[in-house]
Amino acid sequence: MKFIGKLLLSILLIVLLIIVLIYVLLQTTWGAGWVGRLVTQHSDYQLSLNKITHSWSDPSEIYFDNISFGQKERRATLVAKRLVAGFSVRQFTDPYHFYRIQLQDGTLNLDPASLAFPLEADVLQLNGMAIQSPYGGWELNGQNVNAGITPWKPETGFPLGRNSRFQISARSLTLNGIPAENVLVQGEINNNQLRLDNLGADLSQGELTGNARRDEDGAWQVDNLRLSNVRMQTAQSLDEFLRQLSEVPKITIHRFDLIDARMEGKNWAFSDLDLTLRNITFQDGDWSSDDGALSFNASDLINGAVHLNDPIANMTLSPQGIEIRQFSGRWQGGLMRTSGRWQRDGQRLELDDFMVAGLEYTLPGQWLDSWLQPLPSWLAEVQVDKFTANRNLLIDINPAFPFQITALDGYGKNLVLARDHQWGVWSGSLNLNGSDATFNKIDVRRPSLALTADRGKIAITELSAFAGEGLFEATAVVNQQAERGFTLSLNGRAVPLTVLQRWGWPMAPLPGNGNVQLTLTGKMPANALFKPSLNGRLHALNAQGQTVDQTMVNGDLAPIAP
């Protein structure tokens, strides 16, 4: 019996010696390399590490230094200066489960297509890590990331696990090209559901706070999002910037606040912008709302040649469209104010009352071409029930025919200014008058215009102005068909006889003032010269009894038959 006891004791001592020897060897460079080769040769993963350390002052933890781990023939999933693994009694029944895994000072590459880590833990901690995920629709790059994930049970396609709570902070983080600093995120993962209970970051020199959640179908619900003091610059145009925002997955915003924002892009800028948006859903480049609202104000809004000062807007959103409760702003030194609605059915903009006063506006060089361009798909028709203009200045510096109208007043009723995505005067009545005007360097006084329009024609019932000591009066009819055929009848009494020549009629010289009678017909199709279509007759008589009679045929003068 003594022999057996000694034998067993010897075997036990040998086993303990072997264990101690293995324990010592594993903490050498050779032992760490052997473990890495063993895992690499007998699994789908590749592991390398420089050192394994264990301290009896903290016996439940083991340290792996300079570790690199990942799926074979793929980029390493983990590269870190140190991995700390905490053991527990559960290790005897579940050897791959740890009570704590800590990653320090390295890089974690999250590729949902890679095989999941063959480990799990009650707590996963990240200290000073970089996180990269350049895959799919969420391109992520985070620096100096600290995080805690409880529990951590990774699966393929779910690198953070299916069910866990997390808290993540990062010194800097870039998501889909949008950089942020001092990021803090707290939330929970539940299979395909993601809840962000607390979200905070410094974004474009401003502060972002909010909370949101992602449903199982990938749709986002933003309960509250607040962005303040943003100072953002981008090389994108406004259309490109808004299109980028609209390309996100389905997202429902219950409340979004943008406070004191300054944003600038290619040919657009917003200054001191305050905006509130409530209860709206964006999907597939469109929006919907059952009981939404949009309100904003700013010191400046610039989009191309349009520059609004002090704009204020309050709108409500519904399935039918947008109710414009208030919109006002200063443009070109004047004041604009309107209210109305945009109807989704028919893409129709209906303005109850549109007023412009004190405007000092110089028409752009190619304003006629812009007038002929089709409107965007969301705007097929523009209707103004009541139009009012007071004390405006309108200027065109086109050298071919410059003009200027001073103290321009106007009144319109039931105007349809766009139809089938095309600008025009398609219906309604309009009266315009000014105190003074200049047309191609000819000064006139009290210019006045009155017209009515329907789907068939535009009838100019009054067109008059004082010139010199006399008065010009005219009437005209323009049809609404594509060729825009028109007729004009003009009479002048005691007017300077050189005026018509400056206005385009090649009149023979006739000195002094006199009376003129002009009838003219022609066509004004879009994007085509209309002079070859002109046919007309002119009779002029000056104070000395001299007369001129001229006939125009197809844009050229012809002698009157005897």
Q: What is the pLDDT of residues 413-428, one digit of tens each?
A: 999 999 999 999 999 9
Gap between the Cα atoms of 46 and 499, Å rounded: 92
473 and 420 inside one domain: no
269 and 338 inside one domain: no
At 25 the three-state DSSP class reads helix
pLDDT at 178: 79
Both tokens of 425, joined, read: 């005067």
DSSP state of 529: -
> Where does the pLDDT of residue 157 fall: very low under 50, low under 70, confident under 90, or very high at 90 and above?
confident
Question: Torsion over CA of 187, 188, 194 and 197, rounded to 10 degrees?
Answer: -30
The string of pLDDT tens digits covering residues 350-373 is 999 999 999 999 988 888 888 888
- Region of poorest pLDDT, from 4-18, 129-143, 488-502: 4-18
Residue 40 or 534, more confident: 534
Gap between the Cα atoms of 275 and 290, Å rounded: 19
pLDDT at 506: 84
In a domain, 360, yes or no: yes
Which of 454, 472, 488 marks a domain boundary? Answer: 454
Gap between the Cα atoms of 437 and 17, Å rounded: 110
Rounded to an integer, the average pLDDT of 331-347 is 94
100 and 247 inside one domain: no
To the nearest whole number, what is the mean pLDDT of the chain?
86
In a domain, 271, yes or no: yes
Which of 394, 423, 454 marks a domain boundary? Answer: 454
pLDDT at 14: 58
Residue 95 or 131, more confident: 131
User: Domain total for the chain?
Assistant: 4
DSSP line for 370-439: HHHSPPPTT--EEEEEEEEEEEEEEEE--TTS-EEEEEEEEEEEEEEEEETTEEEEEEEEEEEE-SEEEE
371 and 357 inside one domain: yes
> Where does the pLDDT of residue 543 fall: very low under 50, low under 70, confident under 90, or very high at 90 and above?
confident
In a domain, 242, yes or no: yes
List strand residue ranges (DSSP E) for 34-176, in order: 45-48, 51-54, 61-71, 78-86, 97-98, 100-109, 120-121, 124-135, 138-150, 163-175
Say whether pLDDT at 250 is over 60: yes
The string of pLDDT tens digits covering residues 184-207 is 999 998 888 889 899 999 988 889
The string of pLDDT tens digits covering residues 29-65 is 776 677 778 888 878 888 888 887 877 767 778 888 8
| Cis, peptide link before residue 154, omega less than 30° from 0 | no
Residue 499 or 88, more confident: 499
- Region of poorest pLDDT, from 96-100, 293-297, 419-423: 96-100
Q: Pick from 276, 270, 241: which is nearest to 258 by CA? A: 276
Which of 407, 430, 454 marks a domain boundary? Answer: 454
pLDDT at 561: 45
CB atoms within 10 A of CB 497: 25
pLDDT at 562: 41
Gap between the Cα atoms of 519 and 492, Å rounded: 12
In a domain, 26, yes or no: no
Question: Torsion over CA of 128, 129, 134 and 139, rounded to 10 degrees?
Answer: -40
Say whether pLDDT at 553 is over 70: yes
> Where does the pLDDT of residue 460 fall: very low under 50, low under 70, confident under 90, or very high at 90 and above?
very high
Say whether pLDDT at 233 is over 70: yes
181 and 196 inside one domain: yes
Rounded to an integer, the average pLDDT of 478-505 is 90
335 and 379 inside one domain: yes
> Where does the pLDDT of residue 113 fall: very low under 50, low under 70, confident under 90, or very high at 90 and above?
low
In a domain, 236, yes or no: yes
416 and 386 inside one domain: yes
293 and 326 inside one domain: no
Say whether pLDDT at 560 is over 60: no
Residue 122, domain extent: 43-201
CB atoms within 10 A of CB 313: 18
Residue 173 or 294, more confident: 294
Give the global pTM: 0.81
**At which residue do the structure tokens 């400056």 appear?**
502
Name the percent of the chain lying above pLDDT 70. 91
DSSP state of 248: S
pLDDT at 211: 93
Gap between the Cα atoms of 519 and 490, Å rounded: 6
Say whether pLDDT at 26 is over 60: no
> Where does the pLDDT of residue 255 fall: very low under 50, low under 70, confident under 90, or very high at 90 and above?
very high
pLDDT at 509: 73
445 and 470 inside one domain: no
In a domain, 53, yes or no: yes
**At which residue do the structure tokens 């103290």 appear?**
407
401 and 469 inside one domain: no
In a domain, 37, yes or no: no
At 177 the three-state DSSP class reads coil
Are residues 533 and 488 in contact, defined by beta-carbon separation less than 8 angstroms?
Answer: no
Rounded to an integer, the average pLDDT of 495-523 is 87
466 and 513 inside one domain: yes
In a domain, 30, yes or no: no
367 and 415 inside one domain: yes
DSSP strand pairing (381-396 vs 348-357): parallel
CB atoms within 10 A of CB 204: 20
Long-range contacts of the stretch 445-454 (C-beta < 8 A, 24+) = 447/405, 451/425, 452/428, 453/416, 453/425, 453/426, 453/427, 453/428, 453/429, 453/480, 454/427, 454/480
First-to-last alpha carbon distance for the chain, in angstroms, is 155
